[in-house]
């Protein structure tokens, strides 16, 4: 096994990876910006290296500085976490060229799945159902309008290199498409360096359900069941759970087998997630593949008992998976909420000095933390400060434990989305399992706006 691993990330995911490395007796190397010098994960690592100024392009996206830290520390492998450089094929390539094991898939697969148009084509060739849409980039608004009228409105305008909802917009007619095309293309160019757009038919009131996969370099591939991630704000996930309260066993089995089919067609290695949109009749369509660990991976760990970070490390080291599909079972129910430093109504970031941060403990409660009671939440990074996970023997118990934990979560000095999370978890529609992607717009926002 690796003796030393550098974590090319920050915050709660860096702390999460450090925890598993310690369990496996692997030394850890943290990297940090000037803004994160006092961060918890930096103190928890065995070694730490300053890699630049606060802004991400001067630190956490600075590949040269990260590789210099890896060389100086003597690390053998680099774990990218999620976000930042985790799906950057160029970074994966440079890690390997510099002699470091990259804890993730090959750069070729990352490049293919990072391009939404190429990913659609690859999945189509693999026999995975895809949403009707364009199989190539759309170069201008007139071409987009022609395709939209062929598919029939409403359609989703999407950035080929996008993620996190950036450059994505639902449009209902030619006039809306004309207005949206140029702005979203420019936004995608600004965020991803690629303004290429494509179109998909909009699946109305879908659910966002994903399948966790693991594959090794020995030809073995398994899935670890599904996670439902339908409750989102601005196309960003807020509440995730496993298993889905919606899927029938037949569809669950079919989706798992389809995910493995995709993995094998790609010759994929390491952890990944196949994301699907699922309509009310349980028809499912490929949405995208995340070639990394997911933010919501703890709910899968809770219901399967499998440490996904450990499996990533073992696969990257060249070990074969020690379990087959028949060995993987699910028990109970888990729900995760993402706690953001943000206004709970307008969803604007709320940076500042924490003056109080007290977290609840209890049976079935798990925390993944990026801050402590005296942390400064800076404006430079994603505003997620923690994840709260509640596990129960069934969904009802998991909901009850989550509600109690949220009531006892105490944060002062900044605004958080905890009031929103309380309202969502307590809502009758959530308790009934009616968690379509329109949930926040349909049930939460009207309630708080009218109060």
Active-site positions read 292
Q: Pseudo-torsion of CA 72, 316, 368, 71, nearest 10°?
A: 10
In angstroms, the Cα distances linking 235 to 117, 300, 308, 333, 364 are 19, 21, 25, 24, 28
Structure tokens at 76: 């053998």
222, 221, 211, 271: which is closest to 244 by C-alpha? 211
Give the span between the Cα atoms of 395 and 422, in whole angstroms.
Answer: 16
310, 348, 306: which is closest to 330 by C-alpha? 306
CB atoms within 10 A of CB 142: 11
Structure tokens at 83: 């976000």
CB 299 within 8 A of CB 245: no
């Amino acid at each position: 096994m690796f003796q030393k691993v550098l974590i090319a990330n920050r915050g709660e995911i860096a702390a999460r990876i450090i925890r598993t490395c310690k369990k496996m007796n692997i030394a850890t190397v943290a990297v940090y910006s000037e803004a994160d010098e006092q961060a918890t994960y930096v103190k928890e690592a065995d070694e730490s290296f300053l890699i630049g100024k606060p802004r991400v392009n001067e630190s956490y996206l600075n590949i040269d500085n990260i590789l210099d830290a890896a060389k100086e520390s003597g690390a053998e492998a680099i774990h990218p976490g999620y976000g930042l450089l985790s799906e950057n094929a160029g970074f994966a390539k440079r890690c390997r060229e510099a002699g470091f094991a990259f804890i993730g898939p090959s750069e070729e697969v990352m490049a293919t799945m990072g391009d939404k148009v190429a990913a659609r084509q690859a999945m189509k060739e693999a026999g995975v159902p895809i949403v009707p849409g364009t199989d190539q980039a759309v170069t201008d608004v007139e071409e987009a309008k022609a395709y939209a009228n062929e598919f029939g409105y409403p359609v989703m305008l999407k950035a080929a290199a996008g993620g996190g909802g950036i450059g994505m917009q639902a449009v209902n007619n030619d006039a809306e498409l004309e207005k949206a095309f140029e702005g979203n293309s420019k936004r995608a160019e600004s965020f991803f360096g690629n303004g290429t757009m494509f179109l998909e038919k909009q699946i109305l009131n879908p659910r966002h359900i994903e399948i966790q996969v693991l594959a090794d370099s020995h030809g073995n591939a398994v899935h670890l069941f599904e996670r439902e991630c339908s409750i989102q704000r601005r196309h960003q996930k807020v509440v995730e759970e496993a298993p889905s309260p919606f899927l029938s066993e037949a569809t669950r089995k079919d989706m798992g087998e389809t995910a493995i089919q995709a993995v094998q067609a790609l010759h994929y290695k390491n952890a990944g997630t196949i994301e699907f949109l699922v309509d009310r009749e349980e028809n499912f369509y490929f949405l995208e593949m995340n070639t990394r660990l997911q933010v919501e991976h703890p709910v899968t760990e809770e219901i399967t008992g499998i440490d996904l970070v450990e499996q990533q490390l073992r696969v990257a080291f060249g070990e074969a998976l020690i379990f087959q599909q028949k060995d993987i079972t699910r028990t109970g129910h888990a729900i995760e909420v993402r706690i953001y430093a943000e206004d709970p109504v307008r969803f604007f970031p709320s940076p500042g000095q924490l003056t109080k941060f007290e977290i609840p403990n209890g049976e079935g409660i798990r925390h993944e933390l990026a801050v402590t009671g005296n942390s400064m939440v800076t404006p430079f990074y994603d505003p997620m400060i923690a994840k709260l996970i509640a596990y129960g023997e069934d969904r009802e118990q998991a909901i009850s434990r989550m509600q109690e934990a949220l009531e006892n979560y105490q944060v002062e000095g900044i605004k958080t989305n905890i009031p929103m999370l309380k309202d969502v978890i307590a809502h009758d529609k959530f308790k009934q399992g009616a968690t379509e992607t329109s949930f926040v717009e349909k049930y939460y926002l009207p309630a708080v706006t009218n109060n």
